[in-house]
Amino acid sequence: MKRFFLTLAVAALSLGTRAQQLSPDSISMYDEIQKIEVVASRATSKTPVAYTNLNREDIARNNYGLDIPSLLALTPSMIATNETGIGIGGTSMRLRGTDATRLNVTINGMPLNNPDSHSTYWYDTPDVISVVEDVQVQRGAGLSTNGTGAFGGAVNMRTSQPQTTFGGDATFSYGSFNTNKQAVHIASGLLGDHWMVDARLTHIGSDGYIDRGATDLKSYMLQGGYFSDRTTVKLISFGGKAKTYLTYTGVTKEEMELYGRRYHTEGQYETSHGPYVLADGTHVDYYDDQTDNYLQINNQLIVNHRLSDRWTLSATGFYTYGYGYYKQYKDQRTLLEYMNMGIDDYSVEADMIRRKIMRNHTYGVNGSVAYTASHLSLLMGGSYLYYTCPHWGDLEWVDGYGKEQIAGRWYDNDVNKQDANLFVKAMWQPVKGLSLFADMQYRYVDYRAWGVNDNFDWETMQMQPINVDKQYNFFNPHVGVSYLLQDRHRFFASLAIAHKEPTRSDFTDRYMFADDQSEPSPELLYDYEVGYEYSSPNLSLGANFYYMKYKDQLIPTGMVNDSSDALNVNVPDSFRLGVELSAAWRATNWLTIGGNATFSRNKILNYVDKLSDSPTYEQNLGTMTIAYSPSVVASAYLDVHFGGFEAVMRTQHVGEQYLTNNEIETLTLDAYTVTNLDLGYKLRTRADKSVRFGVAIYNLFNAKYCSNGYGYSYMWDGVRYDEAYYFPQAPLHVLANVTFEF
């Protein structure tokens, strides 16, 4: 690795000696053409959408090694969750109470959501935060986008553009729990008047706050570009390899009291001579390779062309390859459940190490053409995506059995998915300040899955069969109006209708709570938004009111499957109603004070409990609060800049959340308030370069809180049980950073 870093640096230095300089006019045109590729899915000040932009400065200030959700938690209504306790590894997010499977995520217009699970696994694209130029978070149904439908919001990212001058940077971080990051970035600058090359290598590691919650992430980014007055062509490849210890099994409050907040059971097994002794005297040991291992490579070919002063064209072809598996130690497993072993006696048990494996390929193309005049802008385009992914499992070791006795696959299934859309967007300004907006999208989804799953059916004494063959035709219209008064007051209102297909788990895991053979239904959303914004050089204010009315919303039950993915159930009638407030005041040239707050009601109407093992099965419970939907999410910040010194203190409060939809107090995630402090000093050097020293202090006031959890109720021998599991977060911890520009 060190040799590769050195070779990269030498190559870039040799290129840099031939780098050219662009004129100011050429740089302006260059920047303008770069923006074409994201205009199809980006909102502007004239678009009737609630959104927040994060620029390169916002990103750099939070780029010590944490995953993207920690950055996005700066925006209204957003919550970040983490399994390892420090914002690295198993991270995710919720927006307006909506989980990651319903948040559309794209980078340069390419969908990052897994087409099968619909989630975005941030450690599968390690350190993507370092290659991002800017981010837009749209709340609500948002604009037409590619990939999984936006049912609570959309995250639209754009990668950094190749630098027009030779240079680069190197970043080093180190902090609590052995958290560390090393990264180097080198840019060739303009070569031969038209060409540019950028490259980045990164390593991120941590032991994690949670015991054995280790993370080892290696990533790269390489892009080459051709630039002319009207055209850019870029080839981008980014991705990496991740190895993370499995930490997705939560811990109960009783276990935290007995064994400590860092305790969890993944990889643990009892043994009479175990080197570790728990507080209750039990001897245990741990399997040290209880890990998730994944390789993902993302490739994009992007062409932007300005046909004339009014017409622009953008096209992107992409291909993503992924291969991964996770290994698990399982003690005293019933071998009848592993069909490859040919054992038909349910009493035979053995310890084992098993693997669950997947290999996927995603191909696609996006295209759009835009027309812009003084009072009218039109945008037309579409996309096509094809995804294929076999899933299978094998046994690496079974106690008492030889290799030939455990050979073969104990489950095997395949998935094919096609996802296509066509859209037309129009913005018309009939009079000064008034903009009328329409966005019409048709989306087609073909989803097929077949084979046998990893679940054993004790009724049929066979592995669970998979036979899904679904086609969906969705029409997603979005209309609205915005009015800009005196360049400072912005009013907008909109109505959007959105549809979304179920996930793989929604099909395959219904058996865990349903007592029939029904299938999940697609979801329908009516999203009403009304907003106001005021903007001046020293003060900005915003208020956005939303009413999201759902039909057949797939809501989390609180239960999880064997991989800790949430199990969801359709509810006929539900809604999310709220107001999002934001403010920022630049009190002086060196002091800014601001914050945002969301107050909401998230309800199911006439909720009938459909969980077959629930104590309230088939009962109409009336109006219930939707799980994982706090009524209050608020944050405030204090930003001090003086010379090269900067200090930002940010506090976020998240209200109480129910883990299930029954409003059971013993199955709740307690409200929490956490404060982070970021200190930095930038020292300018020659040739307008810099060295930045920084330290981030997380959980400044040492709050004991949990960011996520899961839970459920059931009956056993006439006794009711309520079980809740949590993911504790680290107490006060520190991460220092130094970044050199050259």
Q: Where are the alpha helices (DSSP H) in 85-128?
A: none
**CA end-to-end span of the chain:** 21
CATH number at residue 371: 2.40.170.20
Beta strands in 335-408 (DSSP E): 349-372, 376-398
CA distance 490 to 544: 11
The confidence score (pLDDT) of residue 17 equals: 40
Identify the H or E element spanning 654: strand 645-654
Quote the domain boundaries for residue 8.
2-741
pLDDT along the chain (742 residues), means of 10: 43 42 48 60 90 91 87 94 94 95 93 94 91 94 83 92 87 97 94 91 97 96 91 94 95 95 94 88 93 97 93 95 96 92 91 97 96 94 97 96 94 97 96 96 97 89 93 97 95 96 93 85 97 96 98 93 86 98 96 98 96 92 97 97 94 97 96 97 83 96 96 91 96 96 90
368 burial type by CB count under 10 A (0-12 exposed, 13-18 middle, 19+ buried): buried
Residue 7, number of CB atoms within 10 A of its CB: 10
CA distances from 329 to 87, 267, 500, 583 (A): 26, 6, 36, 51
Residue 390: partners with Cβ closer than 8 Å, 6 or more residues away: 358, 359, 412, 413, 414, 415
The confidence score (pLDDT) of residue 33 equals: 56
Is the full-model pTM beyond 0.95? no
Average model confidence (pLDDT) across the chain: 91
Per-residue exposure over 575-606, b if at least 16 CB sit within 10 Å of its own CB, e if not: bbebebbbbbebeeeeebebbbbbebebbbee
The confidence score (pLDDT) of residue 7 equals: 43
Contact by Cβ (8 Å): 646, 590? no
Structure tokens belonging to residue 176: 């609590």
Identify the H or E element spanning 5: helix 2-16
CA distance 318 to 702: 44
Residue 405, number of CB atoms within 10 A of its CB: 14
Of 540, 553, 612, 545, the C-alpha closest to 583 is 540
CA distance 404 to 166: 58
Beta bridge pairs of residue 413: 391, 451
CA distance 228 to 592: 40
The confidence score (pLDDT) of residue 14 equals: 43
Structure tokens belonging to residue 3: 């040799």
For tokens 């040239």, the residue is 589
For tokens 């300089």, the residue is 21
The confidence score (pLDDT) of residue 61 equals: 82
CA distance 93 to 119: 10
CA 174 to chain centre: 24
Q: Which amino acid is at 177?
A: F
Q: Give 526-558 pLDDT, tens digit per residue.
A: 999 999 999 999 999 999 999 999 999 999 999
* 3 state SS of 190: strand
DSSP 316-354: EEEEEEEEEEEEEEEEEEEGGG-GGG----TT-EEEEEE
The confidence score (pLDDT) of residue 39 equals: 65
Contact by Cβ (8 Å): 603, 622? no
For tokens 């302006």, the residue is 28
Of 671, 655, 663, the C-alpha closest to 626 is 663
Q: How many domains, the chain?
A: 1
Query: SS3 letters for 59-109?
Result: HHHCCCCCCHHHHHCCCCCEEEEECCCCCCCCEEEEECCECHHHEEEEECC
